[in-house]
Copies of this chain bind each other. A is one copy, B any other.
Amino acid sequence: MEFDLLLKNIARHVQLDQTEIGFFTSLLEKKKMKKKEFLLKYGEICKTENFIVKGCLRVYAVDANGFEHIVMFGIEGWWVSDLLSLWTNSPTTYYIDALEDTELLQISKSNLDALYERVPKFERFFRIILQNAYSAQQLRINQNLSFTAEQRYLNFIEKYPSFAQRIPQKQISAYLGMTPVFLSMLRKKLSKK
């Protein structure tokens, strides 16, 4: 059923009994989003952690010239949020919207605190999620410093083949830090090899 993917995900890191599962799922809210709908806009305060059951989200910032830069994508099985805004109850500087029709399971900050209180194992689970996110970010910083645009693209399609197929090139270029035009040129060049 609807919690399957999430519970399977959690089970990879912590073991829960039926009561704990029941309590946890009682704290979740379902949300359906249409493509292009916003989950969070600049200046708002992020109130939830969001687990993607189906679909695809992007977290992005808009720079001084109006260009969008994508901080992260998320698909089925990923948690997406603005953690800084959530943690500190401060206005976000990002936007989050849906690249496809999307279904979420949301847990609010207050319910999350209640969950940690009652089932401390979840602290461990979310700490692991955070650690993975931290490590991934560090790797991305390093690769943005050391890779050319071509290397970043090749690395991306190797690492996230499923993203590469379903996400429009324009969005991928905004994630990789190059123009859509240049990405198109790269792809042409690479296809000839």
Contact = CB atoms under 8 A, between A and B. Distances in A.
A146 B71 contact: no
Given A130-B130, A138-B137, A141-B137, A146 B67 contact: yes
A82 to B, nearest CB: 9
Interface string A39-63: 0000000000000000000000101
B83 A134 contact: yes
Interface in A59-73: 61, 63-64, 67, 69, 71
Residue among A71, A127, A133, A145 with most chain B CB within 10 A: A145
A177 interface: yes
Chain A interface secondary structure, helix, strand, loop or mixed? helix
Given A83-B131, A133-B134, A137-B137, A177 B144 contact: yes
Given A130-B134, A134-B130, A141 B84 contact: no
A4 B31 CA distance: 49
A-B pairs with lowest CB-CB distance, top 5 = A63-B146, A69-B145, A84-B135, A137-B137, A145-B177
Interface of A: 61, 63-64, 67, 69, 71, 83-84, 87, 123, 127, 130-131, 133-135, 137-138, 140-142, 144-146, 177
